């Protein structure tokens, strides 16, 4: 069988690859006698020696070989994006199964890829990773990775994930730890399924494996760096799916009350570094204040998992409001659309900002009509939801076409890529342009419909101000907003307002 290899899509001028005759369209098959599996593997292999022996195939099938003196650096090629792997699970709480119909194809794909876990902090159940792949992680030192554990009890994990072969997650984790790989972990807490004794067992068994143990049988191995507990999210679209009790505000309150003191105990036992973490959504559902900075790991280890976003936003806002730059908000009048869970917190901050600077900013909670009103996070709002709320707000405020200077949407609603990144693609799915919402409406569509600049909020008040100013420049220049945001790098989804 012909070796697969990785296709070259561009070659740097005057690079080692160009001198050797490697061209776009060629396929790199081997480096130093080893098959090239993907981009990460290529980077690992070229970094191993000062001289790199490359074997590649031309489009006509001819194979060529050259030794390049690259001193451990790349050889000057861009490689085609890797295809993302798909999970082998059937989790009872899988969000993909609870998606309404009619969205673009890529949103229904259950991607799960350990390479993305290493590169971008995506969580993986390890269902698509066999022993050979775990060994590859160890060899290439892809550490730390992020693992969805859900339950360490094998029977319960099978029940939760619907895969009878994936009960023994601790075996896979132990394999990685023994090879020196560190692991961040998460549990999606589902009332009645993995709370109670299942949760306590999971917590205890992962704690036994915590990192940096200097004595005992695990000394010197990799370790579990953190464990986050995230409340299950259910949409209004669970027809034909197993019955799961709702995550109520009362459950969240009881959970926070029961486990907050434990979080502090674990932190103390872990030399002051927070290890057991509760996701922001526990606090918004329980309607209690998010805890202070010391509750979160020093590196904000699970920020992308919704752990600490609110605290980071609030702390930044407090600092920012003390700076002269904050006064540039003066006189600005904008409507900030966001999810129901974040709106009260954001409004409190905006009131303070308005008081200090004379701005007129306010946040409105947008009901999620596509997924159901039980979904309150900002990141899952669709373009139509945002439009509807903006129109309702305009009517409420007299119906004038210039009722605000700008409408701000959560950056997290603009997940523009086909797959999770430029380096990885989901098979057979067309890329979407930047500034596209989940339902394929775009920033430009909202702008046209509302007749007001529509800008992504960013991750904090400083970014919000940058975006509002960029929108003004665009209006003055009669430029394309998207082009300006793109050029300034401001249009990237940044987890803004997305608890
Ligand atoms: S691993 Fe993730 S994508 Fe796969 S079924 Fe479970 S929740 Fe869904």
- Return the ligand 1 atom nearest residue 96 CA: 8
Separation between Cα atoms, residue 85 and residue 250, nearest integer Å: 38
Q: How far is CA 57 from CA 13, 20, 71, in A?
A: 20, 13, 23
Query: 325: which 2 tokens?
Result: 């730059």
Is pLDDT of 232 > 80? yes
At residue 435, the pLDDT reads: 78
The dihedral region occupied by 378, where left means phi > 0, alpha psi between -120 and 50, and beta the remainder, is alpha
Task: Say what the pLDDT of residue 103 is.
Answer: 87
CB neighbours of 37 closer than 8 A, spacing ≥ 6? Answer: 6, 136
Neighbouring C-beta atoms of residue 396, cutoff 10 Å? 10
The pLDDT of residue 415 is: 66
**Which whole number is the average pLDDT over 148-168?**
97
Cα–chain center distance at 148:
14
Assess contact for 117 and 460: CB atoms under 8 A.
no
Return the residue whose CA atom lies nearest to atom 8 of ligand 1. 94
Tokens 């799961």: give the residue: 244
Would you state the pLDDT for residue 168? 97
**pTM of the prediction?**
0.87
Which of 109, 124, 125 maximizes ligand 1 atoms within 8 Å of its Cβ, making it the mutation to test the pocket?
125
Angstrom distance (rounded) from CA 115 to CA 137: 9
User: 57 in ligand 1 pocket by Cβ < 6 Å?
Assistant: no
Q: Is omega for the bond preceding 284 within 30 degrees of 0, making it cis?
A: no
Asked whether the predicted pLDDT for residue 488 surpasses 90, the reply is no
Q: What is the pLDDT of residue 420?
A: 42
Measure 163 CA to ligand 1 centroid, in angstroms. Answer: 11
CA dist., res. 381 & res. 89, Å (int): 26
Helix (H) or strand (E) holding 409: strand 406-409
Residues 382-411 have pLDDT tens digits of 999 999 999 999 999 999 999 999 999 998
Which amino acid residue places its CA nearest to atom 6 of ligand 1? 91
Answer whether residue 316 shows pLDDT above 70. yes
pLDDT digits (tens, 9 = 90+) for 193-218: 999 999 999 999 999 999 877 788 88
Residue range 111-123: mean pLDDT, rounded: 86
pLDDT of residue 34: 95
The answer to whether 423 and 416 are in contact (CB under 8 A) is no
Query: What are the structural domains of the chain?
Result: 6-79 (2.30.42.10), 96-307 (3.20.20), 313-484 (3.40.50)
Of all protein residues, whose CA lies closest to atom 2 belonging to ligand 1?
Answer: 94
pLDDT digits (tens, 9 = 90+) for 325-350: 999 999 999 999 999 999 999 999 99
264: left (phi over 0), alpha (psi -120 to 50) or beta: alpha
CB-based contacts of 428, cutoff 8 Å, min separation 6: 105
- Strand, helix or coil for residue 340: coil
Determine if ligand 1 sits within 6 Å of the CB of residue 113.
Answer: no
Residue 369: pLDDT band with limits 50, 70, 90? very high
Order of strands, sheet of 333-338, starting from the edge strand that comes earlier in the sequence: 360-365, 333-338, 406-409, 454-456
**Six token digits for residue 250:** 């009362």
Please give the distance, rounded to the nearest whole angstrom, from the Cα atom of residue 149 to the centre of ligand 1: 12
Q: Average per-residue pLDDT in the chain?
A: 89
Ligand 1 site, residue 94, Cβ cutoff 6 A: yes
pLDDT for the residue 218: 81
pLDDT surpasses 50 at 417: no
pLDDT above 90 for 121: no
CA 92 – CA 115 distance, rounded (Å): 25
Distance 182 CA to ligand 1 centre (A): 22
Q: DSSP secondary-structure letter at 489?
A: T
- Residue 427 CA, ligand 1 centroid: distance in Å: 17
Output the CA–CA distances (angstroms, integers) from residue 217 to 63, 210, 213, 298, in the order listed: 49, 12, 9, 27
Q: Per DSSP, what are the bridge partners of residue 316?
A: none
- What is the distance between the alpha carbons of residues 404 and 408, in angstroms, rounded to a whole number? 10
pLDDT at 499: 26
Mean pLDDT across 155-167: 96
Distances (CA, A) of 284 to 278, 416, 460: 11, 27, 18
- pLDDT above 70 (res 243): yes
**pLDDT per residue over 41-93, tens digit each?**
999 999 998 999 999 999 999 999 999 998 888 899 999 988 888 888 999 99
Q: Whose CA is nearest to atom 3 of ligand 1?
A: 110
Find the 304 Cα to ligand 1 centroid distance in Å: 17
CA dist., res. 378 & res. 228, Å (int) = 20
Greatest mean pLDDT among 102-106, 290-294, 469-473, 495-499 lies in 290-294
- Between CA 299 and CA 317 the distance in angstroms is 19
Cβ count within 10 A of residue 195: 17
CA distance 132 to 120: 22
Out of 103-107, 302-306, 382-386, pick the least confident: 103-107
- pLDDT at res. 434: 64
Pairwise pLDDT comparison (379 vs 329), residue with the higher score: 329
| Buried b or exposed e, range 260-286, using 16+ CB within 10 angstroms | eeebeebbeebeebbbbbbbbbbbbbb
Residue 267 has pLDDT above 70, yes or no: yes
Residue 258 has pLDDT above 60, yes or no: yes
Radius of gyration (C-alpha) of the chain in whole angstroms: 25
CA of 290 to the centre of ligand 1 (A): 28
Answer whether 389's CB lies under 8 Å from 5's CB: no
Give 29 Cα–ligand 1 centroid separation in angstroms.
32
Mutate to test the pocket of ligand 1, among 84, 86, 87 (most ligand atoms within 8 A of CB): 87
């Amino acid at each position: 069988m012909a070796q697969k290899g990785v296709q070259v899509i561009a070659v740097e001028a005057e690079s080692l690859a160009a001198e050797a005759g490697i061209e776009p369209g060629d396929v790199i098959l081997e480096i130093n006698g080893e098959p090239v599996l993907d981009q990460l593997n290529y980077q690992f292999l070229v970094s191993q020696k000062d001289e790199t022996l490359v074997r590649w195939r031309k489009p006509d099938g001819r194979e060529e070989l050259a030794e390049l003196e690259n001193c451990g650096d790349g050889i000057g090629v861009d490689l085609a994006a890797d295809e993302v792997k798909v999970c082998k699970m059937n989790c009872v709480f899988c969000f993909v199964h609870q998606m309404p119909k009619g969205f673009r194809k890529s949103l229904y794909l259950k991607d799960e890829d350990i390479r993305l876990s290493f590169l971008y902090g995506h969580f993986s159940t390890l269902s698509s990773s066999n022993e050979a792949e775990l060994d590859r992680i160890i060899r290439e030192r892809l550490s730390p990775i992020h693992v969805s554990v859900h339950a360490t009890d094998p029977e319960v994990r099978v029940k939760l994930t619907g895969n009878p072969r994936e009960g023994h997650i601790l075996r896979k984790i132990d394999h990685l730890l023994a090879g020196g790989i560190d692991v961040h972990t998460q549990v999606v807490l589902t009332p009645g399924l993995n709370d109670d004794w299942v949760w306590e067992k999971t917590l205890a068994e992962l704690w036994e494996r915590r990192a940096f143990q200097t004595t005992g049988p695990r000394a010197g191995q990799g370790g579990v760096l953190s464990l986050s507990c995230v409340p299950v999210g259910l949409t209004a679209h669970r027809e034909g799916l197993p019955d799961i009790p709702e995550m109520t505000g009362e459950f969240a309150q009881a959970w926070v009350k029961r486990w907050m003191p434990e979080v502090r105990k674990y932190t103390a036992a872990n030399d002051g570094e927070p290890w057991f973490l509760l996701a922001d959504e526990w606090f918004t559902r329980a309607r209690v204040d998010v805890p202070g900075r010391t509750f979160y790991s020093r590196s904000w280890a699970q920020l992308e998992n919704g752990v600490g976003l609110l605290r980071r936003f609030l702390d930044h806002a407090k600092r920012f409001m003390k700076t002269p730059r904050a006064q540039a908000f003066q006189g600005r009048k904008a409507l900030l659309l966001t999810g129901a869970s974040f709106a009260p917190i954001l409004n409190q901050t905006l009131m303070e900002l308005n008081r200090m600077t004379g701005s007129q900013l306010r946040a409105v909670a947008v009901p999620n009509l596509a997924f159901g009103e039980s979904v309150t996070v900002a990141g899952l709002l669709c373009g139509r939801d945002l439009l509807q709320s903006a129109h309702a707000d305009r009517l409420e405020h007299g119906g004038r076409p210039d009722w605000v200077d700008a409408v701000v949407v959560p950056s997290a609603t603009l997940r523009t890529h086909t797959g999770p990144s430029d380096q990885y693609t989901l098979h057979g799915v067309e890329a979407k342009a930047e500034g596209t919402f989940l339902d394929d409406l775009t920033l430009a569509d909202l702008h046209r419909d509302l007749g007001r600049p529509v800008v992504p909020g960013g991750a904090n008040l400083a970014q919000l101000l940058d975006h509002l100013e960029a929108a003004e420049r665009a209006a003055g220049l009669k430029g394309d907003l998207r082009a300006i945001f793109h050029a300034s790098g401001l249009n990237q989804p940044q987890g803004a307002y997305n608890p």
